[in-house]
A and B are shown apart, each in its own frame.
Chain A
Amino acid sequence: MDHLIIGFQNVLTPSTLFWVTVGVTLGYVLGALPGLGKATGVAVAIPMTFYLHPVAAIALLIGIAKGSAAGSAVSAILLNTPGEPSSAPTALDGYPLARQGKAQKALKMGLFASVIGDFLSTLVLIALAAPLASYALLIGPVELCAILLFSLTFIGGLAGRSMLKGLIAAAFGVFFATVGIETETFIPRLTFGLLELDDGISLVPMAIGMLAVAEMVIQGGNAQTLDREAAQIDDSARPEDRRVTLAEWRRCLPVIGRGTLIGAVVGILPGLGASVGSFLSYGATQRASKTPEKFGTGMIEGVAAAESADNAVVPSSFVPLFALGIPGSVIAAILIAALVLHGLTPGPMMFLEQPQMIADLYAAMLCASVILLIVGYVGQRVFAQIIRVPIRLIIPVVLFLCCIGAYMTTNSLFSIYLMLGFALLGFFARKLEFSFVTFLIGFVIGPNLELTFRQSLQILDHDPARLVGHPIALLFGLLTIATVVWISHSNNRLSARRAAAQSAGTDQTAEHSHI
């Protein structure tokens, strides 16, 4: 505790605060620009971190991580082009809200949910880093495999209007994730001799193509309609559409709480990542809602669910880093590099040898949360003007940014080709109403599920009876079965209700024709 107070004294200096602000602003702006995001921010920051003093370097990186997670909601809401896959669920309800003239409300909710999730998850990190990390080690491949399987059951909730099409899209996602060198035999799969595909299809160019470029093509086709709509709706002048009302706060707070919890847990577990957190949170919120059918049409809860989990993942993914020295994310890996460069070795010894350093880090993270609120509040006012800009001016800028974002992930043109290929796929997926969100889930979870399943087979010595030694895995296995049964039940009910509504409709028209 004393360390934390000194930590705040170290961080609340003009120079450190400056770098935190630079990091948050850079991250937020990059996140808000479609096509750019965390990956771009990191690429910009790496050379800088090698010349800054440790606390400033770390503050900068943490700022970028937090800022980009929150900023990516902006482009998701305003343009339906999530900057990162983890913001894809935000767009599901955020964009409809923006088209209804409630962009300010959605942006504010997204920001508040982000900051609350971020702040609470940082507190979790501070209080529980060391003990949590040792529990996280109990989660081995067998347990992870069961958890991933459980996560997949939420695909149903995100499938959109047609369950079947959602599942087909998910299967495509899994299919594209199999490209690359196979982990056990090291035989390349579906690479067609292209060395660039050996490490698989990278998530970032794929997501940019599928989410942002395809969306721009569609919007280009509808440019006139969209512009006419924009001129009509503009930005609603009604005050209740510009802010989050008390009633909405009451509905959203439990959602944010759940999102934070899901995000924090997902962040601690190895290899899950931010996308799984926001998908899970969105799916869980929809399942728990009394009006699940309204999701996707502009439910403010959807934005709150996705964004709180998205940001809660960031601090908690540092738990394995601080406590065990194991990087939980790309930013964490760079952070290790920055720490090592300044003579610090992340891991359990750091708590004993460098308690002050850890406290400085914590203080910087808490400051970053607060600065994020300020930067985001100012930033969203500026960015919300985008809705007034004619779509024909937006498209070329977005496409240009997309190319930069894709290129910077591997420094090769191949990523841009990949992006364009997936843009084509994304275009048809949208036109034919195949859910690209379930595609993404399949793509993100598929390879992890495969790897952990193969690992589990070896660890269990190919003997199912040995599962008894893994109670956590068994628990999640049962949960998966229960959820599937429950979903099929509620789906039956839903379709029965729909059928009833439809037949009532036909009765009416029948009556009508009589008259």
Chain B
Amino acid sequence: MRRPNRRQLFGAAAAALLALGWLAPAPVAAGDYPDRPITMLVGYKAGGQTDLVGRAAAKVLSDQLGVPVNVVNKPGGGGVLAAHELSKAKPDGYTLLFHTNSVVNTIPFLMKRVTFKPEDFEYAGMITSYQVGLATQKDAPYDTLEEFVAWAKENLGFSFGSLSPTARMTMDVIAEREGLDVNIVPLKGGGDLLNALLGHQVALVWSGGIHYKYRDQLKTIVALTTFRHPSAPDVETIDEAGYPLGMDGRTTLILPKGTPREMLERLSTALKAAETNETFAKVVAAANIPIMYKDLDEAATEVAESYARNKAIFESAGIEPR
């Protein structure tokens, strides 16, 4: 009884080793890229909004390039872990990261342990934009930031829901300038945010755009982006309201430094197809995420410019990485 068992075990182990050897990557062939499956890292857990857009984009890329694009979730530190993983990968175009550009243009200003900079990666394009804004209940007695400040001066000790250090900084800057007394309530994730807002626990929240799903219950009082939101074109931006705090987050195809330009071009063209792809449009429309495509050169410019803009904002607010 014992022997066949052991022999079977050895057999299985040998088979597994053979399979592993077969799966090992073939040497890099630059000419006819891509000729084998591409791994797309996503720096968030499966099921989130960015993961959803990433998977829809992976499908478009796969159709365009003719090879499978496999999504691998590498959650941790808002994408920092995935970015680290990417920086260690070969620049052969077969490993890429689908993530918001905040991982390179915002997080370096907040986390001391992050050592990478925007120029440590290549960018193949951007596809969607986050509609970040300050949101509240539909029946709240203020429609604009100006009205909110007036209300907050009468209601000292109001509650503001914050998801991130950026959200905290935004409210701190406004409160300091206007002399408001704010209680900042830490929230964990989109579900927690919606609970707090729909349950009237807080007067205002910093939202990454998830609140647009609830048009009957919620409204936006100011856009925290440099552009007006396609979902609420009448709401002014924070810069228009007189506070130079506008920052943009865009889903970006990020690649390791040194990836050949023809590969980036191939990916950039393939990503452009998402702009007109019906399934992709359906997915992002259902989540109220606007498509704002940028090709590889525009993406590189956008990353550099937003990095400089965010740097100025964080420095003037006195935020130091820690």
Give A contacts to B, CB under 8 Å: 42-43, 46-47, 50, 137-141, 181, 183-184, 186-188, 193, 195-196, 198-199, 270-271, 320, 324-328, 330, 333-334, 336-337, 340-341, 343-345, 347-349, 393, 410-412, 451, 454-455, 458-459, 461-462
Contact = CB atoms under 8 A, between A and B. Distances in A.
Contacts of A341: 52, 56, 279, 282-283, 286
B287 A340 contact: yes
User: What DSSP secondary structure best describes chain B's contact surface?
Assistant: mixed
A271 B159 contact: no
B47 A347 contact: no
B201 interface: yes
B36 interface: no
A340 B283 contact: yes
B299 to A, nearest CB: 25
Interface residues of B, number: 50
Given A186-B110, A271-B192, A455 B46 contact: no
A303 to B, nearest CB: 31
A186 B165 contact: yes
Contacts of A320: 191, 195
B260 interface: no
Contacts of A196: 76, 81
B183 interface: yes
A50 B55 contact: yes
Given A50-B55, A334-B46, A337-B52, A347 B213 contact: yes
B208 to A, nearest CB: 15
Contacts of B175: none
A183 B213 contact: no
B177 interface: no
A198 B80 contact: yes
Instruction: Point out which of B5, B164, B322 has the most chain A C-beta atoms below 10 A from its C-beta.
Output: B322
17 contacts: A43-B46, A50-B59, A141-B201, A186-B164, A198-B81, A326-B195, A327-B47, A333-B45, A337-B46, A337-B47, A340-B52, A340-B287, A411-B74, A412-B74, A458-B159, A459-B159, A461-B159
A344 B165 CA distance: 32
Contact of A137 (B51, B71, B188, B198): B198
B173 to A, nearest CB: 17
A410 B191 contact: no
Contacts of A195: 76-77, 80-81, 84, 113
B230 interface: no
A47 B184 CA distance: 39
B151 interface: no
Nearest to A183: B186
Contact of A344 (B80, B216, B286): B286
Query: Which of A43, A195, A345, A410 has the largest count of B CB atoms less than 10 A from its CB?
Result: A195
Nearest to A340: B286
Contact of B196 (A140, A187, A412): A140
A325 B202 contact: no
A325 B218 CA distance: 14
Contact of B194 (A184, A324, A345, A458): A324
Contact of B195 (A50, A184, A270): A270
Contacts of B286: 340-341, 343-345
Nearest to B165: A186
B34 interface: no
A328 B282 CA distance: 24
A461 B159 CA distance: 8
Interface string B106-129: 000010010000000000000000
Question: Which of B77, B159, B191 has the most A CB atoms < 10 Å from its CB?
Answer: B191
A199 B214 contact: no
B300 interface: no
A112 B177 CA distance: 62
Given A184-B186, A270-B192, A343-B282, A325 B77 contact: no
Contacts of A411: 72-74
Contacts of B322: 186-187
A134 B52 CA distance: 27
A140 B192 contact: no
Contacts of B164: 186
Interface in B37-78: 45-48, 51-52, 55-56, 59, 71-77
A198 B74 CA distance: 13
Given A340-B283, A458-B159, A199 B77 contact: yes
B185 interface: yes
Contacts of B113: 188, 193, 195
B263 to A, nearest CB: 24
A459 B195 contact: no
Interface in B94-146: 110, 113
A334 B287 CA distance: 14
Contacts of A410: 73-76
B199 interface: yes
A47 B55 CA distance: 9
B157 interface: yes
A198 B113 CA distance: 11
Contacts of A462: 183
Nearest to A138: B199
A103 B219 CA distance: 57
Contacts of A328: 191
Contacts of B198: 137, 324, 326
Tell which of A138, A198, A324, A458 has the most Cβ of chain B within 10 Å: A458
A184 B76 CA distance: 18
Contacts of A50: 55, 59
A330 B51 CA distance: 13
A281 B46 CA distance: 30
A271 B196 CA distance: 12
B185 A459 contact: yes
Contacts of A198: 76-77, 80-81
A147 B48 CA distance: 28
- Those 8 A-B pairs whose CB atoms lie nearest each other, nearest first: A333-B47, A137-B199, A458-B183, A198-B77, A183-B186, A461-B157, A334-B47, A458-B185
